[in-house]
Amino acid sequence: MPRIITTVNVNGIRAAARKGLIGWIERTEADIVCLQETRASDEQLAETLTPALEGGWHLVSAEPAAKGRNGVAVLSRTPADAVRVGHGDEEFLAAGRYIEADFSDLTVASLYLPSGEAMTPKQEEKERFIKSFAIHLSTTAAAADAADRHVVVGGDWNIAHTQLDLKNWKTNKKSSGFLPNEREWMDVLFAEDSAWVDVFRAQHPDVAGPYSWWSYRGKAFDNDSGWRIDYQVATRGFAERAEAAVVERAESYDARWSDHAPVTVSYR
């Protein structure tokens, strides 16, 4: 079973590759890497990741129907046993927002949840997504429990759950990603009697951040004025196997190859 899993929004796979992503892949100890916002077709993605694939990595992906938007993938050191695209909602099936890959008794999913925009149709789209995705998570957890399997959903969830997950929370109360109904959705998802666990927060309770996304604007990165919106969410039995969780924050602004940082969890 994979021991180290990473999730990262690459903010465009081709741009990230030019800025240093390939070197990071060559150095990482991760067994599986969940990628989001590849902004590439399956063909373009595979071409960009050729050095990694030639180095022994395996790739499964869900390309976006809209050119230059979305796109998710899973890189793994061993080939997946099975792959599924989408979460059962026809509206988002071709959106390139969700993919699942099975590895023995573990399912690893890569998620790019819509970012939304308060008081616009984009927010309505986000709300439709989380409503149907909640149903998928519920049925997935039940099926995994019945089959004695585990599930990890790594990805850009585009919601900062609590005040600890957002530096400037006071000025973002009406911003998408920190709206009351979004946070309440996560309250339910991560309730004590829920099947799902926010693995990173379980490893780092009661601390601010560590943040995983910083705007390219201004001094957000230098001031660590970020959001924690990249999560690994696991079924409870697998979450209990987590030993360590880190945000691989770049040493400097210039060393970044995405506006997100990889979020890596080691499991025993």
Cβ atoms of 267 and 154 within 8 Å: the answer is: no
pLDDT at 88: 96
Closest listed residue to residue 76, CA positions, set 48, 112, 43, 107: 107
Closest listed residue to residue 203, CA positions, set 244, 258, 262: 244
> What backbone phi and psi angles, to 5 degrees, belong to 195?
-80, -10
In the three-class reduction of DSSP (H, G, I as helix; E, B as strand; rest coil), residue 13 is classed as helix
pLDDT at 218: 87
208-240: string of b/e by CB count within 10 Å (b at 16+)? ebbbbbbeeeeebbeeeebbbbbbbbbbeebbe
Half-sphere exposure of 26 (CA within 13 A, CB side): 10
Closest listed residue to residue 178, CA positions, set 240, 227, 113, 133: 227
The CA R_g of the chain, rounded to the nearest whole Å, is 17
Beta carbons within 8 Å of 203's beta carbon, 6+ residues apart: 242, 244, 245, 265
Which are the catalytic amino acids? 156
Q: What is the pLDDT along the chain (268 residues), one digit of tens a residue?
A: 669 999 999 999 999 999 999 999 999 999 999 999 999 999 999 999 999 999 999 999 999 998 889 999 999 999 999 999 999 999 999 999 999 999 999 999 999 999 999 999 999 999 999 999 999 999 999 999 999 999 999 999 999 999 999 999 999 999 999 999 999 999 999 999 999 999 999 999 999 999 999 999 889 999 999 999 999 999 999 999 999 999 999 999 999 999 999 999 999 9
Residue-wise DSSP of 193-229: TSSEEEHHHHHSTTS-----B--SSTTTTTTT--B--
* Interatomic CA distance for residues 106 and 203, integer angstroms: 20
* Interatomic CA distance for residues 74 and 85, integer angstroms: 11
In the three-class reduction of DSSP (H, G, I as helix; E, B as strand; rest coil), residue 230 is classed as strand
pLDDT at 1: 61
